[in-house]
Amino acid sequence: MSGLGTAWPSLVAADSAFPGERIAVGASGHRIEYADGSTRLCVTSGLWNVPLGYGNPAVARAVTRAMHDASYLSLFRATHRYAEQAADALVELAGRDRYRRVIYSTSGGAANDIAMKLARQYWAQRGSSSRSIIVGLRGSYHGTMYGSHALSGDDLLHSVYSVDRRHVRHVPHDDEAEQLDALLQREGSRVAAVVVEPVLGSGALPLSREFIARLLDLREKYGFLIVADEVATGFHRTGPLFATNEWPAAPDLLLLSKALTNGAMGAAVVLVGPRVSDEFTRGRWTFVHGETQAGSPACAAAILAVIDELRATDVDSKAGALGLRLLNIADDLRASGKIAAVTGRGCFLGLSLRHDDGTEYTGEQVLRVISHLADEGVIVQPGPSSVELVPAFGFSEAELFELETALHSTLTALQDV
């Protein structure tokens, strides 16, 4: 089984062919099985989606029950018990003092579209329709829906797709918000929201405490909404339940996806803070957004099962211990000169790759590292001039040793070349 398939995979050339050792046929625990019978250790948590491991039985049972009890119920001009229960559990988990309502979506990209629309409507219905600018960060990734594609700060062929960026601006994440401040001095009265990832998914680059403090101060001064995209960082990925729990003040909107259902369903949510939800309620405004599959009974059941699993299996302490072990592995690689630097936090680390002359690895060279690691039996996530480690929280000491051995072997071999 190989060659050019009928399915068109994402983010590869259209003529890409996949031999048997690259066609996945199953996944269990922390390993993926391929058509040639081989398996590989997955250190991406399935693109951040499965921190509780592939095939988590509690999530599977919950989804199966929901499919039998109510295979589909809609949230178009209606609600249902499953969506209400999951939304209530999410608000309880995130803090009722921080969030009031939950809008269901089907992906992180679509959730970012929701946030952009919600922020613009918030200002328009308050009589400030000129406040339509959304500010993002350079190097950020928020998805490839039409709105989220415009917001993403990576180079993603925006001009080819005629993505409309007239009402989007981008500033650096690593200048302690100097350029954000300068932008707001020019256009602060037109800015509806600033959208940030607490740790940029591309490169595992955390926002500094200084940046966050200044961002919050600038919100007080200019009034814009803060949207925290925690699609990648939510559910203990960086240590705390949500990365923004460590901020001095809460964002106005919190976006969650990926780990939300442990990858069982295409699902995302926007948690809406009191500033926005109370205004919409008082004004009796209608938010014009709908996704047919959003908030289905199976989706809601998976969310509730994940929340129960987080509590029952003490994921907080597991993630903390795993993060320290990962950092030890990364620090050893850095000390031996195999990587240039370590970025990220908790169980979300980036290993920066540079040549002896200080130049960074190109995208093609990073993919060569990824391919070599796959040959060693380990799957990691590529980043800009880096590889990213995003393991599930249940990794055993043996699996960590397997990862460490593959990293040392691969980086030594490629350095020699």
pLDDT value of residue 1: 42
Domain with CATH 3.40.640.10 in the chain: 57-312
- State the DSSP code for 32: E
The CATH class of 314-416 is: alpha beta
310/302 Cα distance (integer angstroms): 12
Of 399, 331, 333, 325, nearest in space to 369 by CA: 333
Q: Does domain 57-312 have CATH number 3.40.640.10?
A: yes
Under 8 Å between Cβ of 18 and 35: no
Domain with CATH 3.90.1150.10 in the chain: 314-416
Residue recorded with tokens 């328009």 = 124
pLDDT value of residue 155: 84
pLDDT value of residue 416: 56
Of 55, 61, 68, nearest in space to 28 by CA: 55
Segment (H or E) for 383: strand 381-383
Amino acid sitting at position 159? S
Laid out side by side, the sheet with 268-272 consists of: 101-105, 268-272, 253-256, 225-229, 191-196, 133-137, 168-171
Instruction: Specify the pTM.
Output: 0.95
3-state DSSP assignment of residue 350? strand
Give me the DSSP letters along 98-132: T--EEEEESSHHHHHHHHHHHHHHHHHTTT-TT--
A 10 A CB-CB count for 208 gives 14
Laid out side by side, the sheet with 39-42 consists of: 24-28, 31-34, 39-42, 378-379
Q: Is 372 exposed, middle or buried (0-12, 13-18, 19+ CB in 10 A)?
A: middle
What pLDDT tens digit does each residue of the chain (417 aa) get? Answer: 456 889 988 988 999 888 878 899 999 999 999 999 999 999 999 999 999 999 999 999 999 999 999 999 999 999 999 999 999 999 999 999 999 999 999 999 999 999 999 999 999 999 999 999 999 999 999 999 999 999 999 888 898 888 889 999 999 999 999 999 999 999 999 999 999 999 999 889 999 999 999 999 999 999 999 999 999 999 999 999 999 999 999 999 999 999 999 999 999 999 999 999 999 999 999 999 999 999 999 999 999 999 999 999 999 999 999 999 999 999 999 999 999 999 999 999 999 999 988 899 999 999 999 999 999 999 999 999 999 999 999 999 999 999 999 999 999 998 755
